[in-house]
Structure 1
């Protein structure tokens, strides 16, 4: 029998699309605060937001009637007719978020307009259970408690509080980059995690993404007709193996848009390694009728009405910015962090492990070496084996670390520990996944806001590469934000990054070359390094003869 669903059921179904986790709640409430014209937004969370989320702003606020209507499904002040969907300038417009949140949590709303008395509402299961007046300045405070209390099946599948907190950290950080003129503050379990002090985009980038992101970057400021593109592009040498360093804002809305991302890459042209991704932060201010944001309930994806125009314009803007270097500010000098060394145990650095393997007599022999390429003679093969020693060592170390990923890796203690400064999001990722990182052989200790002391490093690593390794791990781990059951993939990602930063060896003795080759043959995938590059090339007698024949033909043609 077909029947109409109740409003409560409809709201909970909608909540499944709009509200995936406490991070979704924070995103929706902060977007509402921005739409209200707020200049200061404070987010407080407890227990990763499952126990408490409080978002306070100094925006325009609501009168009593609007406060009661805001929790109704499809009630909004952003649009009034269908045509408005083609000219959306606000963050929200569907009128779904607050109704969805109200249906699965306990809410207290305190709001007031300028010069009017305040209103306080207590809401459960989408219904107002108590109404009273309150005293407050203009603005609104939403207090969300006991999220998913009436849908235990949803709560059961939520991630850990630490993982959710890291997701919220990233959302607030991204929001602060979309609106540098607004002050943001994030307090997690009573600890101030993020507090913005800057009011300009360049200062906000350095404040939230770190000096390394801004250092050596190219400023972009490009206007064409009604379009205005601005932001920063990372230097071609400052790239990553994923897209976590890419921030795109369309009319101040954080979005993902593959055509624009590809256009940015095209603008770099041959300056980039084919497998690396540029870092950038771009704001695109364009007429609202050129963009369709009514694509997904969470409004993360957009459609472009004139995709070719966007591609060509973005590509040209990037090419122009890279052609002329524009400094975006001097990087300040290093300021040491005050640390109480009396609490730190000092250890002497140990010698890094060498590859060891029992060799049999009469096996493969080394002929010589040119750069990273080692030439070998294998008695079982009629020809020459050319081994890329760097790629081979990368493969051997990667599989060795992956096999022992459930054990604590060998460490080398540092005589003088040193500190690494991270961005708030990077710091949150390290804290969330610290146990997994330390299984590689690290010993890390939080000694200040977003600062970690490195007391021990993996035995295979060089000390001067440690900071970059930790930063790459923190950025790589952001791929798992919002995902479930990622433990195995997480460890593989960490091992992949760690092995890439392993100490390199430039020259190999005959014995070392034989040991490396034998270890390589024991790997599950001996022919390629973890990035897919070949580790060995086998040139038999016919292949070598063909190479010389080809050169002879070329020489004859040149003489003619």
Structure 2
């Protein structure tokens, strides 16, 4: 029998200091992952240098050549020699400022990292001084020499990643790399509206932005479509200043690319702020769609840590929850406008909408009304002019207060409401109306009434609880055992919504009361949907999330259904209620409630322009 030979352990590797060139190339992998990252770092240096004009030229998507010129403060010969050394920076006057960063770049790694993997040449001239030039090729630094050039700095990068060909293989097509680089400049331009930017790619002008104020720059960068659908966002506090524009829920995007977030003039992709955007729009946009916004947040530098990510695109706020709450509240206040403001129409050319009525000054964040009132001007009051008890009136339990106008009176009376006057009901599902400017307005009666019911329920919940209507005969609903257990587990929360249930043996649930606003719908489908909603949210969901989801389900079941014929006065009352109700542009599931086709769009469709 052969003896077992002992396994020899490998020799212990010795620890050694890496050569400077190798260390710089490793650092370049963190800082310069593609041409766009090099462009971003160089342009950030230009902005920190006080530039008022920045020009970028790209060849081969930036892989062959990147040229960035600015009119900033420039550098003398001594500063130029230090600029390409690691951990050399002019942006930290003392070590204590590491936790109070007021500039875009501060690590001092970008230029040496770029010089380690490319051919880098920098020409700079300070005001009142002479120009000098320095070159770095694959980490080898040349001497500083006199040169010619205007005040400012000129940075040229050639053959990016020639010293690390393995990384160059991971780059995309030059056109794709150029698009990423242009987008990097566009985001910086949005954060610095007072600076003029120009980008040239493959000999063609790809971006040209004159200096502007922040609203003008948003329109320049995000386009007229966003500007037409956007509303101002503002929140000012002792330790936070938020301003910007957010598109109404009718204007959404399939990705988060249209979310531009700027903190202390730094464009970021911060998770906390993105979550705040998602939460603020959660119950007003459709699942799978994303809001569009350009938000500028200013906080004291010591209250935010920008040194948590190599690319400095993520932050850590000292008071993260306070910032998140302030952003959510500001966004909800901004989008809490009536249905008359939502007119972006998929497939139709949007036209200018009449200005919506101003939001009530006493409205609470999120669209709920203050204690003692119904949402945004009063849902019941808006529906009161109905006379004959139609389906909507019966569903809401409203008593008519005045006779409807005759057709002749309606024709003569001027209508200054954004959604105009009802003309007809189509397919017993949609209300067709004519706006004051002649545009055609189409309203989904179920989706619109769902939002109105949702806001009414939310207002009652804020007041202390949704008013319940006891059933004359309690209803027994049989459910799968898991659904029944889940509903009974959340019975106290459901009771706050006016839905009173208790166990009835086995998997049965006894329903003793329903929310009064819902009338008397069949409780079985309602309970089944609520159980499904609670299961989908999972155990990690907060109580507020569960209540919000339950309100949306209740609103859906208590709303006027498609296929129900409405009287003319009921249709007009629906339009008036939408104009006065927050977030009426979308239903509780985020689908649009109102579409608009203006005169210009009609003329284009019929070939008149």
Give TM-score scaled by structure 2 length.
0.53
Structure 2 equivalent of residue 101 of structure 1: 114
Q: Does 1:279 align with 2:258?
A: no
Structure 1 CA distance, aligned partners of 2:220 and 2:269? 23
Q: 1:171: how far off?
A: 0.7
Q: Does 1:266 align with 2:279?
A: yes
- What secondary structure does 1:248 align onto? strand
Comparing 229-238 and 122-131, the one that deviates more: 122-131
Structure 2 equivalent of residue 178 of structure 1: 191
Q: Does 1:231 align with 2:244?
A: yes
Query: What do the CA deviations read for 1:180-224 (whole angstroms, capped 9, x no partner)?
Result: 110000000111110002512222222222111111211123211
Structure 2 CA distance, aligned partners of 1:552 and 1:266? 32
Aligned pair in 2 of structure 1 residues 116, 241: CA closer, same or farther (>3 Å)?
A: same
Aligned pair in 2 of structure 1 residues 221, 134: CA closer, same or farther (>3 Å)?
A: same
Structure 2 equivalent of residue 465 of structure 1: none
Aligned pair in 2 of structure 1 residues 247, 552: CA closer, same or farther (>3 Å)?
A: closer
Structure 1 equivalent of residue 80 of structure 2: 67
Decide which of 215, 233, 254 is 1:202's aligned counterpart. Answer: 215
Q: 1:271: how far off?
A: 2.3
Aligned pair in 2 of structure 1 residues 554, 14: CA closer, same or farther (>3 Å)?
A: closer
Query: What do the CA deviations read for 1:89-132 (whole angstroms, capped 9, x no partner)?
Result: 10011111111001111111110110001111222233332432
Aligned pair in 2 of structure 1 residues 240, 64: CA closer, same or farther (>3 Å)?
A: same
Structure 2 equivalent of residue 124 of structure 1: 137
Structure 2 equivalent of residue 396 of structure 1: none
Structure 1 CA distance, aligned partners of 2:234 and 2:315? 23
Decide which of 82, 85, 90 is 1:77's aligned counterpart. Answer: 90
Structure 2 equivalent of residue 138 of structure 1: 151
Query: What do the CA deviations read for 1:345-381 (whole angstroms, capped 9, x no partner)?
Result: xxxxxxxxxxxxxxxxxxxxxxxxxxxxxxxxxxxxx
Larger Rg computed on CA atoms: 2
1:437-516 matches, cutoff 5 A:
none
Structure 1 CA distance, aligned partners of 2:27 and 2:72? 27
Give TM-score scaled by structure 1 length.
0.58
Structure 1 CA distance, aligned partners of 2:196 and 2:78? 29
Q: Does 1:312 align with 2:325?
A: yes
8 Å CA contact 1:121, 1:131 repeated in 2: yes
Query: What do the CA deviations read for 1:155-190 (whole angstroms, capped 9, x no partner)?
Result: 122211111011111111111101111000000011
8 Å CA contact 2:189, 2:197 repeated in 1: yes
Structure 2 CA distance, aligned partners of 1:99 and 1:556? 71
Structure 2 CA distance, aligned partners of 1:333 and 1:133? 58
8 Å CA contact 1:231, 1:281 repeated in 2: yes
8 Å CA contact 1:123, 1:130 repeated in 2: no
1:10-89 matches, cutoff 5 A:
10-89=23-102
8 Å CA contact 2:80, 2:144 repeated in 1: no
Q: Does 1:302 align with 2:315?
A: yes
Structure 1 CA distance, aligned partners of 2:262 and 2:15? 44
Gap runs ≥5 in structure 2: 1-13, 342-348, 353-477, 480-506, 515-519, 521-609
Q: CA RMSD in A?
A: 3.2
8 Å CA contact 1:71, 1:98 repeated in 2: yes
Decide which of 263, 272, 292 is 2:305's aligned counterpart. Answer: 292
- What secondary structure does 2:142 align onto? strand
1:355-374 matches, cutoff 5 A:
none
8 Å CA contact 1:230, 1:282 repeated in 2: yes
Tell me the matched-pair count: 347
Structure 1 CA distance, aligned partners of 2:16 and 2:509? 83
Structure 2 CA distance, aligned partners of 1:66 and 1:259? 38
8 Å CA contact 2:235, 2:326 repeated in 1: no
Q: Does 1:147 align with 2:143?
A: no
- What secondary structure does 1:320 align onto? helix
8 Å CA contact 1:259, 1:311 repeated in 2: yes
- What secondary structure does 1:215 align onto? helix
8 Å CA contact 2:123, 2:131 repeated in 1: yes
Comparing 107-116 and 72-81, the one that deviates more: 72-81
Structure 2 equivalent of residue 412 of structure 1: none
Structure 1 CA distance, aligned partners of 2:351 and 2:213? 21
Q: 1:555: how far off?
A: 11
- What secondary structure does 2:74 align onto? coil
Query: What do the CA deviations read for 1:314-349 (whole angstroms, capped 9, x no partner)?
Result: 12221232246999xxx9999xxxxxxxxxxxxxxx
Aligned pair in 2 of structure 1 residues 556, 251: CA closer, same or farther (>3 Å)?
A: closer
Structure 2 CA distance, aligned partners of 1:187 and 1:93? 27
